[in-house]
């Protein structure tokens, strides 16, 4: 099958591969990661190119594979006009940003880390705009918050970068949770999470009683991501990021994610008074606040940040109008804003890069030092101000036209044209300030660097964007009209209304509003000094961070007080609360049920062996409690408890669980022995008879309660889910070992999640213990020194002889697992024990010299194989991790089964081996390091 059949997921996922490659490439050359990132972006464009013709032909491309059908989650991608527009913005502007950033970053900056983060963000944004499934969209939505957090905090040594990143993550992350709630409600109403179904059910959604909660939840996600009032304040503080990040995330992509969602849900959610009031009011307030505040910012990026907020408010207000023509104007301004704002941010970065400051009070007269940059800035700023023959003028004219149209809908709506004209006046004023205060107005003042033009390739991305601003403004019908038409069609999910992109529409009210904004904007700039003083006196101290920090501090204070009340640094105290709450819930449950405690199901007879095992189990448990101060002895008694439980599994015909229990027991004992080496050999005595009595009472009551609950369940007839697995294990999974079939087939996703957690645990233990040194005892509690013969010869010889046998047993257990007791998890534990015994008996250095396998790589391959097995099933049209099997007949061998689940089991096996050995060996290395041991090869 051609790769073009999967081109949309490839386009979305390629940047994630590019992130890994960019990080890896930086090891070879400082700028290698930049060119790798550029190459991946071009490759993504190449994979997108074959499908571009479909939206222009009025078709929507959907590529979908079942993922988790039971919950409505498909691995599904969609390309219509709206998705195509945003994908092109993300990739094309992203490519320009990559070229620009290669020259912007200094020699001290880690290019590998920067471009890895940037590519992760690019992939996340592409996932949002190309997703057909809403649950999948939410996943990518949260990935944009996480990757933007990494980008904003890229300069980790700066406090403002760390604070700005945390603020952005907190606000957009909270909005993401609200969006998830809205999507779940939306999918529940429609009966599907696929956009095709949701967009077709607009009438049903708007008439549903849950419409308003859905609208509010989704708009919370939109407003937080796109910095709409009252969540607008996070965006300026995110300007602590490097300027390429600001140019990409905060003008062309991330903040546009919320705008994209407004456009995407426009057919399903718009057209109601609630939509108009909420979306329109938020957009109008944001438009005005951003335009006003930008005028009074002395930092170049601060001015651009608030101007971005203002223009995002303009677009939101257009969608709030709820008409098809307003949607046309909104989409048009999205295109224009992305071009002129990205270019202006890059100009600000050039100025900062070549002068050492962004303070407009110092930057003056740069025209003669940086003429090329000055021309670029003038054109882009003119587009931002809405000067005729610039692209911003055309979309702003359409905006004014829609504002005038809205004024005719009700008596009070006359205020809308007035307010938007007022905001437009400030837009002209701050655009003029950006040009005049930086490139004219005298000479520079105390610049850290001598200003000069940047490298050629640092200007080329700005050149291209500025050319687009001019070309769209002068020849809109030949430049932007085709992509605008298909993007509007994708937004409306209908034929676009008739509209004109002509430069001249005659003398009308929108033109008068534009000319008035230009004239008065110049006037406002002329009296700026008086406005600065007035602003400082009245609103200078207004800062949204005050309220945000107060709320944050109050939340942290409340959390801390609750934590201190329930968690006093004592495991026993925490256990008391947990067990006590469970007892109360259980007692209430028993008291509120009007039924006898026990059922009438007959109990099984008690045989002598079972009774003896139960008595030994109880005795070992009591012994563990009594001698718990002697940690080594209590560890032995715990081992007895584990052994009896394994025998219990054997008694009730669960050999897989018995094998797993025994294997885990051995690994756990070794782990605890290594850990106990660094702990006192005896634990302190309990203080206070009152606490001992309290704990005893709780223990007895909870034990009795669990016993009663168990008997209440087991004395009643019930239909366990095990019947389904027993009936379908062979026909559905091709295996007679039901437990293994469940693990690798029926509940393979659970198993995949478990091995991921196991891998993370192993890597976490490795990271925590790497390089650590702890004080280790050299004698026991009685003052006797440890035996210096750490590796007895008999043990060395025996373990070397046993190693191939143990590995052979592991292979045998692995291969038989699909039909007989065994499987990847048990085999992995057996192999881990075989390898760990070698380390214990022969020493870390001897074993490492002969077993030069990096367990990090083993874990990585295990996860890759396990996940790849699931992706292969998706690629051939089945749900994730669907397995298949076939029976083959070979000469001599005879008939045997081949199951695809064995590949997944190999992944499980590798992760178990890798994580277990990595953890235990690292503990062994810790012991050696704590004694100051230096390997022989290091001495030499």
Alpha carbons 604 and 470: distance in angstroms, whole number? 87
> Mean pLDDT throughout 792-820?
86
pLDDT value at residue 936: 47
More confident position, 776 or 33:
33
Residue 195 has pLDDT above 50, yes or no: yes
pLDDT value at residue 940: 40
Angle at which helices 901-930 and 655-676 cross, to 10°: 20
Alpha carbons 6 and 79: distance in angstroms, whole number? 12
The percentage of the chain sitting over the pLDDT mark of 90, rounded to a whole number, equals 45
Q: What is the pLDDT of residues 715-755, one digit of tens each?
A: 888 777 888 888 888 888 888 888 888 888 888 888 999 99
Confidence of residue 24 (pLDDT cuts 50, 70, 90): very high
Residue 743, number of CB atoms within 10 A of its CB: 23
Strand partners, 73: 68
3-state secondary structure of 96: helix
Q: Which of 265, 281, 131 is nearest to 206 (CA)?
A: 265
Q: Which two tokens stand for residue 484?
A: 């605008």
Note whether 823 and 814 are within 8 A (CB). Answer: yes
Residues recorded for the chain: 940
Note whether 291 and 117 are within 8 A (CB). Answer: no
* E strand or H helix that includes residue 319: helix 300-321
Note whether 381 and 296 are within 8 A (CB). Answer: no
Q: Which two tokens stand for residue 344?
A: 């202006």
Alpha carbons 498 and 485: distance in angstroms, whole number? 10
Residue 888, number of CB atoms within 10 A of its CB: 10
Q: What is the pLDDT of residues 40-67, one digit of tens each?
A: 999 999 999 999 999 999 999 999 988 8
DSSP label of 228: -
Note whether 758 and 918 are within 8 A (CB). Answer: no
* E strand or H helix that includes residue 61: strand 61-68
pTM: 0.80
Residue 64 φ then ψ, to 5°: -135, 140
Domain ranges of the chain: 270-524, 527-566, 734-781+789-940
Alpha carbons 95 and 247: distance in angstroms, whole number? 12
Note whether 221 and 258 are within 8 A (CB). Answer: yes
3-state secondary structure of 187: helix
* Complete DSSP assignment for 774-827: ----SB-TTSPBPPS-SS-HHHHHHHHHHHHHHHHHHHHHHHHTTTSS--HHHH
Alpha carbons 191 and 438: distance in angstroms, whole number? 56
* E strand or H helix that includes residue 897: strand 894-899
Q: What is the pLDDT of residues 855-875, one digit of tens each?
A: 899 999 999 999 998 888 888
3-state secondary structure 484-525: HHHHHHHHHCCCCCCCCCCCCCCCCHHHHHHHHHHHHHHHHH
3-state secondary structure of 77: strand
3-state secondary structure of 718: coil
Radius of gyration of the chain (CA): 34
Those residues whose C-beta lies under 8 Å from the C-beta of residue 257, and which sit 6 or more positions away, are 125, 128, 141, 144, 225, 226
> Mean pLDDT throughout 218-227?
95
Q: Which range among 232-241, 392-401, 409-418 shows the weakest confidence by mean pLDDT?
A: 409-418
Alpha carbons 87 and 82: distance in angstroms, whole number? 9
Alpha carbons 347 and 457: distance in angstroms, whole number? 13
Confidence of residue 839 (pLDDT cuts 50, 70, 90): confident
**No. of helices (H) and no. of strands (E), the chain:** 41, 4
3-state secondary structure of 916: helix
The percentage of the chain sitting over the pLDDT mark of 70, rounded to a whole number, equals 95
* Complete DSSP assignment for 655-677: HHHHHHHHHHHHHHHHHHHHHHT
Q: What is the pLDDT of residues 613-648, one digit of tens each?
A: 889 988 988 888 888 777 778 888 888 888 888 888
Alpha carbons 24 and 4: distance in angstroms, whole number? 27
Q: Which of 331, 367, 125, 364 is nearest to 248 (CA)?
A: 125
3-state secondary structure of 828: helix
Residue 939 has pLDDT above 90, yes or no: no
Rounded alpha-carbon distances, angstroms, from residue 674 to 390, 764, 823, 849, 930: 72, 17, 28, 22, 13
Note whether 883 and 748 are within 8 A (CB). Answer: yes
Q: Which range among 160-169, 686-695, 861-870 shows the weakest confidence by mean pLDDT?
A: 686-695
Alpha carbons 70 and 16: distance in angstroms, whole number? 28
């Amino acid at each position: 099958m051609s790769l073009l059949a999967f081109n949309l997921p490839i386009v979305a996922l390629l940047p994630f591969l590019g992130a890994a490659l960019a990080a890896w490439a930086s090891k070879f050359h400082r700028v290698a990661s930049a060119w790798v990132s550029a190459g991946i972006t071009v490759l993504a464009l190449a994979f997108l190119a074959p499908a571009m013709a479909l939206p222009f032909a009025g078709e929507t491309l959907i590529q979908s594979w079942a993922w988790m059908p039971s919950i409505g989650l498909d691995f599904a991608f969609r390309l219509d006009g709206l998705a195509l527009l945003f994908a092109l913005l993300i990739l094309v502007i992203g490519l320009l940003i990559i070229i620009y950033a290669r020259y912007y970053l200094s020699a001290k900056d880690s290019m590998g880390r920067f471009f890895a983060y940037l590519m992760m963000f690019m992939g996340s944004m592409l996932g949002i705009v190309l997703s057909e499934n809403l649950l999948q969209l939410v996943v990518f939505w949260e990935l944009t918050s996480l990757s933007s957090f990494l980008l904003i905090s890229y300069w980790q040594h700066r406090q403002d970068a760390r604070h700005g990143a945390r603020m952005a993550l907190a606000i957009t992350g909270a909005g993401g949770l609200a969006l998830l709630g809205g999507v779940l409600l939306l999918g529940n109403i429609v009966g599907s999470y696929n956009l095709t179904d949701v967009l077709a059910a607009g009438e049903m959604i708007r008439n549903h009683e849950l419409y308003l909660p859905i609208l509010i939840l989704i708009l919370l996600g939109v407003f937080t991501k796109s910095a709409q009032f009252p969540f607008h304040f996070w965006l300026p503080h995110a300007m602590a990021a490097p300027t390429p990040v600001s140019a990409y995330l905060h003008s062309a992509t991330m903040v546009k994610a919320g705008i994209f969602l407004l456009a995407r849900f426009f057919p399903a959610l718009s057209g109601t008074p609630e939509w108009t009031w909420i979306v329109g009011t938020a957009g109008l307030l944001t438009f005005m606040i951003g335009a006003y505040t930008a005028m009074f910012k002395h930092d170049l990026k601060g001015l651009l940040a608030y101007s971005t907020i203002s223009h995002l408010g303009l677009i939101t207000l257009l969608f709030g109008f709820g008409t098809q023509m307003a949607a046309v104007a909104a989409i048009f301004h999205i295109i224009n804003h992305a071009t002129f704002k990205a270019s202006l941010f890059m100009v600000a970065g050039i100025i900062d890069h070549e002068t050492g400051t962004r303070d407009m009070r110092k930057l003056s007269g740069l025209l003669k030092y940086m003429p090329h940059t000055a021309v670029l800035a003038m054109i882009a700023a003119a587009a931002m101000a809405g000067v005729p023959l610039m692209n911003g003028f055309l979309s702003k004219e359409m905006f004014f036209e829609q504002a005038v149209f809205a004024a005719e809908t009700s008596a009070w709506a006359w205020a809308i044209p007035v307010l938007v004209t007022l905001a437009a006046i400030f837009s002209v004023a701050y655009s003029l300030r950006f040009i005049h205060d930086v490139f004219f107005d005298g000479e520079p003042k105390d610049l850290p660097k001598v200003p000069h033009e940047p490298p050629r390739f640092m200007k080329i991305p700005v050149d291209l964007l500025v050319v687009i601003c001019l070309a769209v403004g002068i020849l809109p019908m030949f430049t932007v009209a085709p992509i605008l038409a298909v993007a509007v069609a994708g937004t409306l999910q209908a034929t676009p209304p008739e509209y004109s992109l002509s430069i001249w529409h005659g003398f009308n009210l929108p033109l008068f509003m534009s000319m008035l904004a230009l004239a008065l904007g110049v006037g406002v700039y002329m009296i700026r000094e008086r406005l600065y003083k007035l602003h400082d006196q009245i609103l200078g101290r207004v800062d949204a961070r005050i309220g945000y920090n107060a709320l944050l501090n109050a939340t942290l204070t409340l959390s801390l007080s609750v934590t201190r009340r329930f968690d006093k640094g004592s495991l026993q105290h925490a256990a008391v609360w947990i067990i006590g709450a469970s007892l109360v819930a259980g007692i209430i449950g028993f008291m509120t049920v009007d039924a006898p405690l026990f059922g009438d199901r007959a109990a099984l007879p008690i045989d002598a062996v079972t009774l003896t095992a139960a008595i030994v189990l109880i005795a070992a448990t009591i012994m563990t409690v009594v001698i718990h101060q002697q940690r080594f002895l209590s560890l032995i008694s715990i081992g007895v408890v584990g052994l009896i439980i394994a025998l219990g599994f054997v008694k009730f015909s669960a050999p897989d669980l018995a094998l797993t229990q025994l294997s885990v027991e051995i690994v756990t004992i070794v782990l605890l022995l290594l850990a106990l080496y660094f702990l006192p050999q005896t634990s302190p005595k309990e203080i206070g008879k009152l606490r001992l009595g309290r704990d005893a009472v709780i223990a007895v009551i909870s034990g009795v309660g669990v016993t009663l609950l168990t008997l209440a369940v087991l004395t009643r007839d019930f239909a366990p889910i095990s019947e389904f697995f027993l009936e379908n294990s062979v026909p559905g999974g091709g295996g007679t070992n039901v437990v293994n079939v469940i693990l690798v087939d029926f509940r393979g996703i659970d198993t995949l999640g478990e091995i991921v957690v196991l891998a993370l645990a192993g890597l976490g233990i490795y990271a925590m213990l790497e390089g650590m040194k702890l004080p280790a005892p050299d004698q026991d509690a009685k003052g006797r020194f440890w035996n210096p013969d750490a590796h007895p010869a008999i043990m060395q010889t025996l373990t070397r002889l046993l190693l191939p046998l143990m590995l052979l047993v592991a292979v045998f257990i692995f291969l038989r697992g699909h039909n007989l007791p065994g499987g990847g998890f048990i085999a992995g534990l057996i192999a881990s024990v075989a390898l760990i015994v070698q380390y214990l008996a022969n020493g870390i250095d001897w074993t490492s010299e002969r077993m030069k396998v990096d367990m990090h790589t083993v874990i990585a391959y295990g996860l890759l194989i396990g996940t790849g097995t699931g992706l292969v099933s998706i690629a051939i049209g089945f749900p994730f991790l669907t397995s298949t099997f076939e029976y083959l007949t070979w000469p001599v061998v005879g008939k045997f089964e081949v199951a695809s689940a064995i590949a997944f089991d190999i992944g499980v096996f590798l992760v178990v081996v890798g994580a277990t050995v990595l953890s235990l060996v690292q503990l062994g290395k810790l012991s050696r390091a704590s004694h100051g041991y230096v390997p022989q090869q290091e001495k030499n």
